[in-house]
Structures are given as structure tokens and as C-alpha cells.
Structure 1
Amino acid sequence: MPIRREHRFFYPIDWPQLSAVIRFGRARGRCEACGRPHGRFVYHTGDGRWWDDAADVWRAPDGTVTVVDISAGFARVRRTRVVLAAAHRNHDTADNRDANLAAWCQRCHLEHDRPEHRRRRWRTLFQRKAGGDLFQGPYA
């Protein structure tokens, strides 16, 4: 995932090379959580289940083989391009140990970061509200 300009100084100068080693060296171009291949388009049901072309099976969000009832219709099946990203398991961008870095597809990365994103969103809204109370008076 792209790094925001204001967050770039949190990452080491060799982050692109470190990320490539994790994503393509250690993980061999596949998500370490679900097994989706980097750069490929996969069909998925939206709830994490996806079609593995190489094995001709449907896979669950954890990468295990599962069953999908396609009689419900193909309207719910979508096609998405998989992009791998190097992620920090503990959300600390200064901790670049191998054990703390993971190669995850965009879905697994967002699932992992969801609680942190909620926390940051709450903090941002809380700060805005506090600033409004301090400088503009209480909200109606």
C-alpha cells in the first residue's frame, strides 16, 4: 500500500528493498495469510472466499479449501487484482524485524489494520471536537 507523504519519515530509507525481500523473497509473491498471488486477478465472493486458478478450488479467507454455492448466482462474485504489501504486525513502523513484517494482500492487510484504523479515526474526531469546543464553543 502506498505510504502517505506525511508518514514517509517513519520508514527506513531502504524500505522499498526491504519490502521487496519480504514480499517476493520470503513470501514468493503470495499473501502469507490467505495465499492470493501478487499481480493476478482473482474472483472472490466479497467475504474473503476466492477462486484459486492454479488448484481449481475455492479458498477460504485463511487459504484452506472451501465450498461455495454458486447456485446463488454470479452477481456476488467480483474480480479484483491482488497487490501484496509488506505490513507491520504490531503497527510500529520502526520495528522492522523479520518476525514483525508480513507480506499480505490488500484484503488481509486492511482486516489486520481495522482496529488500528478505528482507534485513529476516533482520536482524530475527538481532537477535532475538542478543538471546536476550545475555540468555537460547545457543539449544538
Structure 2
Amino acid sequence: MAIRPEHRFFYPIDWRELSMAIRFGHAQGRCESCGRPHGQMVYHLGDGRWWDAEAGRWRDGWGRRIRIRSGVDILGRARRTHVVLAAAHRDHDTANNADANLAAFCQRCHMIHDRPEHQRRRRRTLFQRKAMGDLFGGP
């Protein structure tokens, strides 16, 4: 995932190389949360379940093997997505680039991991907008 220009100075100069080492060295090209392979087209059901073509099995959102009942219309609900891994900070601190703090996540797992941080930033932004309105527009 591309880094926004206003956040670029938070990351080290060698972030690209560090990210590659985490995604393809440490994680070996698979999401550390669900196991989806980087660069592959994956069939998924939209709720986290996805088809692991290498193993020939369905997996849940955490990479565990699951069984699908035979009477369920899966092919009508299945969608395809291109999996792209990204390096993520487990503690959301971009200054902490220790190996234990970095993880390789697919798009879905990265968004799930970052959800509380995104909500916190959204609340803060809305609070600041309201405060600016009170300051200039009155109560």
C-alpha cells in the first residue's frame, strides 16, 4: 500500500526493503493472519472464507480449514480478488520497526487490524471539526 505524502517522513528511508524482508522473507509471501498467498487470484465468499487452491480446501478468515455443506450454492456467491500483502505495524507506531512489531497482512486482514486505529482517528477528526466550528461559529 502506498504511503501518503504527508506521512512519508514517519517511515525510515529503507522502508521498501524492510517491507520486502517482512512480506517475503519472514512471512514467505503469505498473510500472517489468514494465510492468503501474495499475487494470487483468490475466490472468496465476502465473509472471510476463501478457497485455498494449493490445498484444495476452503479456509475461514483465520486460515483454518472448514467444510462447506454440499447443498449450499457457493459458486453463485463466490467473488475473486487479487491478494496483495502489505507490511503492517502491530502497535500502529510507525517509529517502531522491530521485526516483532511488523507483520505481513493481506488487504482484508490489514483493514481488520487497523479498524480500531481508524475509528480513533475518525473520532478525533470529527471532534476537531466540531471544536473549530464552535470557535468560529459559536455554540
Shared fold, TM over 0.5 = yes
Cα pair distance change 1:73/1:18, threshold 3 Å: closer
Matches within 5 A, 1:77-88: 77-88=78-89
For residue 108 of structure 2, give the secondary structure of its aligned residue in structure 1.
helix
Higher helix fraction (1 or 2): 1
Residue number in structure 2 paired with 1:107: 108
Q: Percent identity?
A: 69
5 Å-filtered alignment, 1:27-106, equals: 27-69=27-69, 71-106=72-107
Listed as ranges, the gaps of 5+ residues in structure 1 are: none
Once residues 98 and 77 of structure 2 are traced to their aligned partners in structure 1, the CA distance between those partners, rounded to angstroms, is: 39
Corresponding position of 1:133: 134
Q: Map Cα deviations across residues 45-76 of structure 1 (whole Å, 9 max, x no partner).
A: 11111000001000011111012346245332
What value does the CA root-mean-square deviation take over the aligned residues? 1.1
TM-score by length of 1: 0.94
1:116 equivalent in structure 2:
117
Kindly state the Cα deviation for residue 79 of structure 1 after the two structures are TM-superposed: 0.5
SS in 2 for 1:75: coil
Number of positions where the alignment pairs a residue of Structure 1 with one of Structure 2: 138
> Could you list the runs of 5+ residues in structure 2 that have no partner in the other structure?
none
